[in-house]
Amino acid sequence: MRRLERKPKARADIKAIRAHSRLAFGIGAQRKYGTLMKRAFELLCADPQRASVHQREDLPGLHFFHLRYARTRGAAPKQARHIIVFIYDDTTLTVLRVLHDSMDITERVDDETSET
């Protein structure tokens, strides 16, 4: 399995998501969403080419995974709204950003492509 690396912007995204979840929905929701993100990272480290991962022509080299695909049947949260933006090689899965699905992803990841 690949080693997980989170870039500083991804770590900041995750921290902000967890803080917002706690403030808006309570500590239980924060824990559940954190567990969902952890499951998503584990799934991607095991298989970054899984069927629910996609690429975009306008952002070559980047991969995208919506958290809704990490949910288990019947488990909360029901409204997963974030997309993991990542790259990978044989040994490492690097998370560049974790963005809300309503955000302009192209605008938010342009800086990341020049850093990788």
The pLDDT score that the predictor gives to residue 107 is 82
State pTM to two decimals. Answer: 0.90
The pLDDT score that the predictor gives to residue 104 is 81
Q: What is the 3-state secondary structure (H, E, C) of 74-105?
A: CCCCCCCCEEEEEEECCCEEEEEEEEECCCCH
* 116 residues of the chain, pLDDT tens digit each: 899 999 999 999 999 999 999 999 999 999 999 999 999 999 999 999 999 999 999 999 999 999 999 988 766 677 899 999 999 999 999 999 999 999 888 888 866 555 54
Domains for the chain: give ranges and CATH numbers: 3-115 (3.30.2310.20)
